[in-house]
Amino acid sequence: MANIKSQIKRNRQNEKRRLRNRYYTGRARTAVKKARAAQEKGSLETAQQATMEAVSALDKAAEKGILHKNNAARRKSRLMRRLAAMQKNPVK
């Protein structure tokens, strides 16, 4: 346990940030999983909706510095590529 005042404050700040980061990472991760699942099922409309929500969650995480912007861009690109392929060859 820290004895120095500044370190005690730093520990409090780190814990707050850790919880905030977990919220946004978890949100992005869940949204991506839902989008992938919707794309697997084959319903184009729900897949589009879920993909847009995932893109939004990834953007927010990148904006806050929780995910690197290139990491978010790569994940969004993969999702959009799968969605485009799905639109091209719709499952019957």
- Spatial neighbors of 30 by CB under 8 A, at least 6 apart, are 57
pLDDT on residue 91: 63
Who contacts 71 (Cβ-Cβ below 8 Å, separation ≥6)?
62
Question: Averaged over 28-37, what is the pLDDT?
Answer: 97
Q: Is a pLDDT exceeding 90 seen at residue 42?
A: no
pLDDT in tens, 51-81: 999 999 999 999 999 999 999 999 999 999 9
Per-residue pLDDT, averaged over 24-43, amounts to 94
Cα pseudo-dihedral 76, 34, 83, 65, rounded to 10: -10
Domains of the chain: 5-88 (1.20.58.110)
